[in-house]
C-alpha cells in the first residue's frame, strides 16, 4: 500500500458554472473529516478559467486546492484575443496548471509551445501537471516508449525543478473510453517514465500520475501499484460522490 504522497486531481474540462461549487463543498467536507488527508494525499480540482478566481477564493483556507487547465504559450499581457497567460492564472490564485493534455495537443499545441507553457507557468510559481500519452496507433505499433520519451525530452529540462512538476501519463485510447491499461503494461510504463525523468533531472523524478477512465469501480486495481503517485480524473471528478468514492476505494 501507498507510502508516499498521492495526488487526486480532478480535471473538469469544459464543465461548470458558479453553482457547481456545491460539488467542491462536498468533496472538501469529506477530506476535512478524513484522517489520511494531507498525510497521505492531496486533492486538487481544476475548473475552467471562468471559475478559478471565485473557487480559489472560496477554498483558500480550506483543504482542497484549486488549479487551472491550459494557458496561452506567451506570458504576461499581449494582443492575443481570447488568450489567458500563466501570469493571469496565477493572479487569481490558482496553484496548479494542466499543460499538454491530449485535448490541447490535438488542437495544435506543439512541443515548442508546451515548453513555453511549462516554463512560463513555473516562472509564475504554478505547479505544472504535464500530460503525456500514446494514441492507439502508437500502441498497436509498439511505439509507446518512443513517443513518451520524445514528449518528455522535448519539453522538460534539467533547469526545471522536478518537485514543481507532476507528470500525468494518460494514454489517449483510455481517456473517456472506459478502457484502462493492463496492470503489467502500466507498471512497466510508469517505471520507464520515472527512468526518463531521472535522466532529465539528474537522478530525481517528479511524481507520476495515471489518467484515463479512472472511476470508483476500477480504482482498486491501481492501489497495489506503488509506482503510481496519484490520478488525473476527468469524467468522475464532476460528481462529488464518484470522486470521494475513488479516494475511499483506493485506500480500502
Ligand atoms: P477521463 O479523463 O477520466 O474522463 O478519462 C481524464 C483526462 O482527460 O484527464
Contacts of 89 (CB under 8 A, 6+ apart): 49, 52, 68, 71, 97, 121, 124, 126
State yes or no: is 138 an active-site residue: no
3-state secondary structure of 57: helix
User: How many angstroms is it from 77 CA to the middle of ligand 1?
Assistant: 31
State yes or no: is 101 an active-site residue: yes
Residue with CA at minimum distance from ligand 1 atom 3: 234
**pTM metric for this prediction:** 0.97
pLDDT (tens digit per residue) in 31-41: 999 998 889 99
Other Cβ atoms closer than 10 A to 11: 26
Q: What share of the chain is helix, strand, coil (3-state, %, to 5)?
A: 45, 15, 40
Which is it for the CA torsion 104, 108, 114, 120, positive or negative? Answer: negative
State residue 202's pLDDT score: 93
Give the burial class of 151: count Cβ atoms within 10 A of its Cβ; 0-12 exposed, 13-18 middle, 19 or more buried. buried
User: How many angstroms is it from 234 CA to the middle of ligand 1?
Assistant: 4
Contacts of 40 (CB under 8 A, 6+ apart): 2, 5, 6, 251
State residue 3's pLDDT score: 52
pLDDT (tens digit per residue) in 73-129: 999 999 999 999 999 999 999 999 999 999 999 999 999 999 999 999 999 999 999
User: How many angstroms is it from 10 CA to the middle of ligand 1?
Assistant: 9
Tell whether the model's pLDDT for residue 58 goes beyond 50.
Answer: yes
Beta-bridged to residue 23, according to DSSP, are: none
Please report, for the chain, how many H helices and E strands are present, in that order.
10, 8
Q: Where are the beta strands (DSSP E) in 51-206?
A: 65-69, 96-99, 127-132, 165-169
Q: How far apart are CA 134 and CA 114, in angstroms?
A: 16
Residue with CA at minimum distance from ligand 1 atom 7: 234
pLDDT (tens digit per residue) in 144-200: 999 999 999 999 999 999 999 999 999 999 999 999 999 999 999 999 999 999 999
**Ligand 1 site, residue 132, Cβ cutoff 6 A:** no
Mutate to test the pocket of ligand 1, among 214, 215, 222 (most ligand atoms within 8 A of CB): 214
Query: If pLDDT is split at 50, 70 and 90, which confidence band does 2 have?
Result: very low
When the pLDDT of each residue in the chain is averaged and rounded to a whole number, the result is 97
Residue 196 C-alpha from the chain's centroid: 18
Amino acid at each position: 500500500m501507498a507510502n508516499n504522497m498521492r495526488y487526486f486531481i480532478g480535471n473538469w474540462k469544459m464543465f461548470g458554472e458558479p453553482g457547481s461549487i456545491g460539488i467542491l463543498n462536498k468533496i472538501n467536507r469529506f477530506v476535512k473529516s478524513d484522517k489520511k488527508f494531507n498525510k497521505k494525499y492531496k486533492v486538487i480540482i481544476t475548473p475552467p478559467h471562468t471559475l478559478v478566481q471565485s473557487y480559489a477564493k472560496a477554498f483558500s483556507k480550506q483543504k482542497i486546492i484549486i488549479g487551472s487547465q491550459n494557458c496561452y504559450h506567451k506570458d504576461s499581457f499581449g494582443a492575443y484575443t481570447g488568450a489567458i497567460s500563466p501570469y493571469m492564472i496565477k493572479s487569481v490564485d490558482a496553484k496548479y496548471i494542466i499543460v499538454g493534455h491530449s485535448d490541447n495537443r490535438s488542437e495544435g499545441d506543439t512541443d515548442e509551445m508546451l515548453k513555453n507553457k511549462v516554463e512560463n507557468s513555473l516562472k509564475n510559481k504554478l505547479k505544472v501537471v504535464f500530460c503525456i500519452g500514446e494514441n492507439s496507433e502508437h500502441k498497436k505499433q509498439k511505439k509507446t516508449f518512443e513517443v513518451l520519451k520524445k514528449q518528455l525530452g522535448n519539453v522538460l529540462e534539467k533547469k526545471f525543478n522536478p518537485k514543481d512538476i507532476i507528470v500525468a501519463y494518460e494514454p489517449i485510447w483510455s481517456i473517456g473510453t472506459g478502457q484502462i491499461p493492463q496492470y503489467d503494461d502500466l507498471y512497466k510504463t510508469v517505471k520507464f517514465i520515472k527512468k526518463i525523468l531521472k535522466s532529465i533531472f539528474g537522478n530525481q523524478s517528479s511524481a507520476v500520475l495515471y489518467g484515463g477512465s479512472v472511476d470508483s469501480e476500477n480504482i482498486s486495481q491501481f492501489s497495489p501499484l506503488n509506482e503510481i503517485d496519484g490520478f488525473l480524473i476527468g469524467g468522475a471528478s464532476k460528481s462529488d460522490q464518484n470522486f470521494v468514492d475513488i479516494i475511499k476505494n483506493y485506500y480500502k
